[in-house]
Chains A and B, each alone.
Chain A
Amino acid sequence: MRGLLIAPVVIPLATAVLLLVLRPSRRVEHALSALGCVALLGAALMLLVRVAGGGVAAMQLGDWAAPFGVSFVADRLGAAMVTVTAVIGLAVSVFAMAEIDDRRRRFGFAGFVQILLGGVCGAFLTGDVFNLYVWYEVMLIASFALLTLGGERIQIDGAVKYVALNMISTLLFLSGCGLLYGLTGTLNMADLHAKLPAVANQGLVTAVAVVFAIGFGIKAALFPLFFWLPASYHTPPVAVSALFAGLLTKVGVYSLIRFFTLIFTGDAAFTGALLAAAAAFTMVTGVLGAAAQNEMRRILGFHIVSQIGYMVMGLAIATPLALAGAVFYTLHHIVVKANLFLVSGVVRRLSGSGDLARTGGLYAQAPLLAALFLVPAFSLAGFPPLSGFWAKLFLVKAALEAQAPWIVAVLIGVGLLTVYSMTKIWAEVFWKAPPEPRAALPPLRGGERALLFGPIVGLAAITVAIGLWPAPLFDYADAAARELADPRDYVAAVLGSRP
């Protein structure tokens, strides 16, 4: 069990070390990175089964007792996030085998992907605030490398914006760590849950909560802190975009959920209102920004922003149903969004550009791709019977129960505008006649076709499966939300006794 908790971090890091030290040939490298992802997925599934059956699991690194050492904790939310991370890691690694050129490969592309996966899994499993900071930095440095690998002009431009805002985010996070430590003398999340209510100056606690909210808000791309995302996500290779789109902002969302259910629960009325307002603005500005774009990946980038709003709205409403909705939404969204970016990669490969004016006619040229695009696109917009419909339904239901009609209006209105963007992509990329003259591109060969389409088919199958049988995932999300709403089990697992 103890090994299982650390495995999702150790497996990717060990794979990365092997990839970066051995610098193997293309074939061995592909085999190694696929093997690493499959092993990660296996470990994640074992952890998931274990946590779903036996409740929250915890271990102390180096056998130093909590709250003095660093704890690793897996609750239902963490285990599910790790599992989805492994799925996306596998899909993106396979896709990258066809997309990434030899120059980027030699600079260690596959190794950095594994480091990023290790960092993301570490962030989902750690039970210590400062350790979370360290995993954030592991992720950040790996993402810097992936973003700039290849060094094209557009990438450098995107990276400047990405680096500038993300460095501010990490500094705010670090200041928050310092202030929390100064207030309570501990950085263990479970211990903080127990000690923060006893702090005399609760106003200061709320101020620290806002410091964290801003730091994580930049990471999660919340309004008005999201500008780095649409400025950078369309610049690297598509495999990198898909990986970032699926995972990085969701680590910010996960951290917000974790902190505002476990640690900062004192002034829920204020923080809830703050998050609700931020979430509503995020949804609306994201979807309007997307409507104004004319490049496929930039549209999708703005939609990440808008969808982040849904998840944070679930957290802001904060009833168990809303939290379950937020967890469900996050899990579904990671799969759908990564898949949409992968589709945009095939579009780019087939028509030489992601610019809507230069694409067209792909419905005739690649009918399978067109059909596959519709699955995540309709799911994103919330059409039944796909996963996004259920995710939105739970949130709307939670908002109705919380008697907040304006939230219901925003949730539904933004969903409708999402349909507009998805129809625009459909009409411009797939339906309209191809522009003349068309650049001659080499046709897809059998192996390349399998590597490009395999991950898309797999992720689309997950989306459809969740849509047709939402009950198991919803029950799981519901149980996860109960754990979040009542963190006694979490605290007991870490500190060893019920408070």
Chain B
Amino acid sequence: MSSLILATIARVAVALMLLFSVFLLLRGHDAPGGGFLGGLVAAIGFILYVLAEGPREVRAALRVDPRSIAFVGLAVALVSGLAGLATGAPFLTALWTSFGDVKLGTPVLFDLGVYLVVVGGVLAMVLALEEEVG
């Protein structure tokens, strides 16, 4: 399927959605949002691109296999959990540090991992389905 209108809009919309997904990811810090929502929005952005340009272009644009993105996300989340363990606290315990007004901690890292898992996982499934059905 190729539609000039969809393809033109998709180019702008995908960029905006990716930006919005990062906003949601960071907003999840202490308001509704987070890695899962952000990941889904980013995945939907890529799915729009799949509909406009086809799965092959999306694979090319991603450069890496979506499954690898998901597994890297799993690794990031595991590391954020292990960080707590390293200080003698139980697995997944949050560690916090602050730079002035900005608090940073391992939950952000965990959220980033979730974001990557969701983007990678959803895209792997959608691309497989799209290529399967043709």
A touches B in complex, CB < 8 A: yes
B71 to chain A, nearest CB (A): 4
A377 within 8 A of B: no
Q: Is the CB of B92 within 8 A of A62?
A: yes
* Docked complex Cα distance between A61 and B92 (Å): 6
Given the interface contacts A2-B90, A2-B91, does A20 sit within 8 Å of B71 by beta carbon?
yes
Residues A20 and B91 in contact, CB atoms below 8 Å apart:
no
Of the candidates A10, A16, A17, the one having the most CB atoms from chain B within 10 angstroms of its own CB is: A17
Contacts of A116 in B (CB 8 A): none
**CB interface residues, A 75-130, toward B, < 8 Å:** 108, 111
Chain A, Cβ-Cβ closest to B68: A21
B interface secondary structure, majority:
helix
Specify which of B72, B81, B90, B94 is in contact with A60 (CB 8 Å cutoff): B90
**What's the minimum C-beta distance from A221 to chain B, rounded to whole angstroms?**
28
What are the interface flags for A1-18 relative to B under an 8 Å C-beta threshold, 1 for contact and 0 otherwise? 011001000100110110
Let me know if B90 and A63 touch, CB within 8 A. yes
A308 within 8 A of B: no
**Least CB separation from B82: chain A residue:** A10
Checking A17, A59, A60, A61 against B71 with a beta-carbon cut-off of 8 angstroms, the contacting residue is A17
B36-92 at interface with A (beta carbon < 8 Å) = 67-68, 71-72, 74-75, 78, 81-82, 84-85, 88-92
> For B78, what are the chain A residues with a Cβ–Cβ distance below 8 Å?
10, 13-14, 17
CA distance A2 to B91 in the complex (A): 8
A17 and B75 within 8 A (CB): yes
CB nearest neighbor in A for B88: A2
With A17-B74, A21-B75, A62-B84 as given contacts, are A6 and B68 in contact (CB-CB < 8 Å)?
Answer: no
Given contacts A2-B85, A6-B85, A13-B78, contact A62 B71 (CB under 8 A): no
- Who on chain B is nearest to A108 by CB? B67
Contact with A along B86-102 (1 / 0, CB 8 A): 00111111100000000
Q: Could you say which residues of chain B place their CB within 8 Å of the CB of A17?
A: 71-72, 74-75, 78
What are the residues of chain A within 8 A of B90 when measuring CB–CB? 2, 6, 59-63
Question: Size of chain B's interface in residues, with CB distance under 8 A?
Answer: 18
Our pick among B72, B74, B75, B93 for the contact of A63 (Cβ within 8 Å) is: B93
A62 with B91: CB separation less than 8 A: yes
Q: CA of A62 to CA of B85 in the docked complex: distance in angstroms?
A: 9
Determine the residue in chain B with the shortest Cβ distance to A107: B67
Contacts of B74 in A (CB 8 A): 13, 16-17
Q: Which residue of A lies closest to B91 (CB)?
A: A6
Give the distance in Å from the alpha carbon of A63 to the alpha carbon of B68 in the complex: 31
Q: B68, B82, B92: which has the most chain A beta carbons within 10 Å?
A: B92
Cβ–Cβ < 8 Å partners of A3 in chain B: 85, 91
On whether the beta carbons of B67 and A20 are closer than 8 Å, the reply is: yes
- In the complex, the chain B residue whose C-beta lies closest to that of A17 is B75
Contacts of A60 in B (CB 8 A): 90
Residues of A contacting B93 with CB < 8 Å?
62-63
Residues of A within 8 A of B71 (CB): 16-17, 20-21, 111
CB-based nearest A residue for B110: A62
Most buried by B among A3, A21, A63, A108: A21
Judge whether B89 and A63 touch: CB under 8 Å. Answer: yes
| CA gap between A150 and B85 in the complex, in Å | 38
Per a CB cutoff under 8 Å, which of B75, B82, B88, B94 touches A62?
A: B94
Whole-angstrom distance between the Cβ of A57 and the nearest chain B Cβ: 12
Cα(A455)–Cα(B85), bound, Å? 34
Residues on the A chain within 8 Å of B91, using CB:
2-3, 6, 10, 59, 61-62
Report B-chain residues with C-beta under 8 Å of the C-beta of A21.
68, 71-72, 75
| Chain A hits for B84, CB < 8 A | 62-63
Assembled-state Cα–Cα distance A61/B85 (Å) = 10
A17 and B90 CA atoms in complex are apart in Å by 21
The residue in chain B whose Cβ has the minimal distance to the Cβ of A62 is B92
In the complex, A100 Cα to B89 Cα: how many Å? 40
CB distance from A392 to the nearest CB of B (A): 40
Within the complex, what minimum Cβ distance (angstroms) separates A449 from chain B?
34
Chain B residues contacting A10 (CB-CB under 8 Å) are 78, 81-82, 91
Which residue of chain B has its CB nearest to the CB of A9? B91
Complex CA–CA separation, A14 to B67 (angstroms): 16
User: Which residues B7-59 have CB closer than 8 A to chain A?
Assistant: none
Give every chain A residue within 8 A of B88 (Cβ-Cβ): 2
C-alpha gap A199/B72 in the complex (Å): 45
Chain A 1-52 residues near chain B, CB threshold 8 A: 2-3, 6, 10, 13-14, 16-17, 20-21
Chain B residues, CB < 8 A from A62: 84, 90-94
Closest to B79 in A: A14
State the CA gap A2–B72 with chains docked (Å). 25
Residues on B with beta carbons closer than 8 Å to the beta carbon of A108: 67
Tell me the smallest distance from the CB of B54 to a CB of chain A, in Å: 23
CA distance A17 to B78 in the complex (A): 10
Task: List 18 A-B residue pairs with CB atoms under 8 Å apart, sorted by A's residue number.
Answer: A2-B89, A2-B91, A3-B85, A6-B85, A6-B90, A10-B81, A13-B74, A17-B75, A20-B67, A21-B68, A21-B72, A59-B90, A59-B91, A61-B90, A62-B94, A63-B84, A63-B93, A111-B71
B-side interface residues toward A, CB under 8 Å? 67-68, 71-72, 74-75, 78, 81-82, 84-85, 88-94
The 6 A-B residue pairs whose C-beta atoms are closest, nearest first, are A62-B92, A6-B91, A20-B71, A63-B93, A17-B75, A21-B71
Beyond known contacts A6-B91, A21-B75, A62-B93: 9 more, CB 8 A cutoff: A2-B88, A10-B78, A16-B71, A17-B72, A17-B75, A21-B71, A60-B90, A62-B90, A63-B93
Point out residues on A near B: beta carbons under 8 Å: 2-3, 6, 10, 13-14, 16-17, 20-21, 59-63, 108, 111
